[in-house]
Amino acid sequence: MTQGKTYMQQPLQSASSKKKFQPTSAVLIANPTSGSYVNNKKQVDETVQFLQTQGWDAHLRLTQQQGDAGRFAHEAVKQNIDVVVAIGGDGTINEVIQELAGSETALGILPNGTVNVWAREVGIPLENGAAREILLQGQRRRIDLGKVNERYFLLMAGIGLDAEVTHEVEQRPAKKLGVLGYVLVGLWKTLTFKGFRVSLHIDGKELIKTHATQIVIGNTQLYGGAIKYTWQAKCNDGLLDVCIARSQSLINTVLMGIDVLLHRRQRRQWVRYETCQEVEIRTRHAIAIQVDGDPLGFTSERGAPPTIFKIAPQALNVIVPEEVPACLFIDEVTE
């Protein structure tokens, strides 16, 4: 494996032994046309009122068109707002972090999406009333972000099979089916996707050439709410974790999926696992890319510049529970 900095891993301290972050101003961002907001409008309004009664200068902003969430977040940073609260799923969070990256404004969330991977990853309750307590009682941590070209990602990026599924769902009525739509399209793509030739330069040194079904580049561990491709990833270690799932026969692809889903140790036999600060990827043909579960274009074809994934260390402030999974954070860093 490619090595980055040296870290000492220790059990995480609770927020009670850390300096508490006491925000005074917050902007909550929601999409009024999304089903999750329509079904939870009363709870969202109650949350705004609750935060105000707790001394927060909290205001709700509703998006009207694509790009508004990012614009609201950008304005919040310019105004030195303490917290931007994304009300929605991982796609909403991804849009907001594009503007919060590199700032002191912290990301808070009220999970109202389909899967809510980030909330599940760090232990934020999916119920609105409990989640708002994290905004008040949680701790502030600074974490890394991944970056592909000019797009940040909080969770992971995928190339190949999973990205093909994401692109297909986005273009088809299956999107209305939520998780079921992804499962149905995923089964179809698993039967038809042939894999792709790829070369990877790891930190400008090691060259890997292989035939892959998909590549997952993770800043965190959890994938799709249940699977862990990048099971060793830490969100504050200054490294990306790269899991290359090699092309297999259909039966072996199914076996690999089972091993990964059940977090079995045998999953190692199906993949190559690396850590790095930057990886350059070249494919013979344009292959679909997804970031944080949303489609993001394609890899460059042969002869064009590579697609570059890199780490943005300590780029984002987040509000998380007092106790977070020790497996996801490295608490003390030494040079």
Q: If you count DSSP H runs as helices and E runs as strands, how many of each does the chain have, helices first?
A: 8, 19
Q: Which phi and psi (to 5°) does residue 127 adopt?
A: -85, 135
- Predicted pLDDT at 247: 73
Contact status, residue 97 vs residue 48, Cβ threshold 8 Å:
no
- Predicted pLDDT at 267: 61
Instruction: Name the DSSP class of 54.
Output: T
Tokens representing residue 232 in the block: 């060793």
Q: For residue range 38-57, list pLDDT tens digits in order.
A: 778 888 999 999 999 999 99
Q: How confident is the model at residue 275 (pLDDT cuts 50, 70, 90)?
A: very high
- Predicted pLDDT at 225: 74
The lowest-confidence range among 84-88, 178-182, 206-210 is 178-182
Q: For residue range 115-147, list pLDDT tens digits in order.
A: 899 999 999 999 989 999 999 999 999 999 999
Mean pLDDT of 313-320: 98
User: What pTM value is reported for the model?
Assistant: 0.84
- Predicted pLDDT at 265: 65
Contact status, residue 163 vs residue 295, Cβ threshold 8 Å:
yes
The whole-angstrom separation of Cα 199 and Cα 299 is: 12
- Predicted pLDDT at 303: 74
Tokens representing residue 11 in the block: 């059990």
pLDDT: which is higher, 223 or 109 = 109
Query: Does pLDDT of 13 surpass 50?
Result: no
Query: Does pLDDT of 211 surpass 50?
Result: yes
Contact status, residue 23 vs residue 82, Cβ threshold 8 Å:
yes
The whole-angstrom separation of Cα 58 and Cα 21 is: 16
The whole-angstrom separation of Cα 186 and Cα 162 is: 8
pLDDT: which is higher, 75 or 33 = 75
- Predicted pLDDT at 152: 98
Q: How confident is the model at residue 186 (pLDDT cuts 50, 70, 90)?
A: low
Portion of the chain with pLDDT greater than 70, in percent = 79
H-helix or E-strand spanning residue 312: strand 307-320
In degrees, rounded to 5, the angle at the alpha carbon of residue 209 between the alpha carbons of residues 206 and 214 is 110
* Domains defined along the chain, listed by start: 6-144+314-334 (3.40.50.10330), 151-312 (2.60.200.40)
Mean pLDDT of 324-329: 93
The whole-angstrom separation of Cα 267 and Cα 241 is: 15
Query: Does pLDDT of 64 surpass 50?
Result: yes
Contact status, residue 58 vs residue 45, Cβ threshold 8 Å:
no
- Predicted pLDDT at 119: 96
The lowest-confidence range among 14-28, 45-59, 283-297, 321-335 is 14-28
- Predicted pLDDT at 8: 35
3-state secondary structure of 162: helix
Tokens representing residue 58 in the block: 């909290």
Query: Does pLDDT of 18 surpass 50?
Result: no
Q: For residue range 234-247, list pLDDT tens digits in order.
A: 999 999 999 998 87
Query: Does pLDDT of 62 surpass 50?
Result: yes
- Predicted pLDDT at 334: 39
The whole-angstrom separation of Cα 48 and Cα 182 is: 33
- Predicted pLDDT at 162: 87
pLDDT: which is higher, 28 or 4 = 28
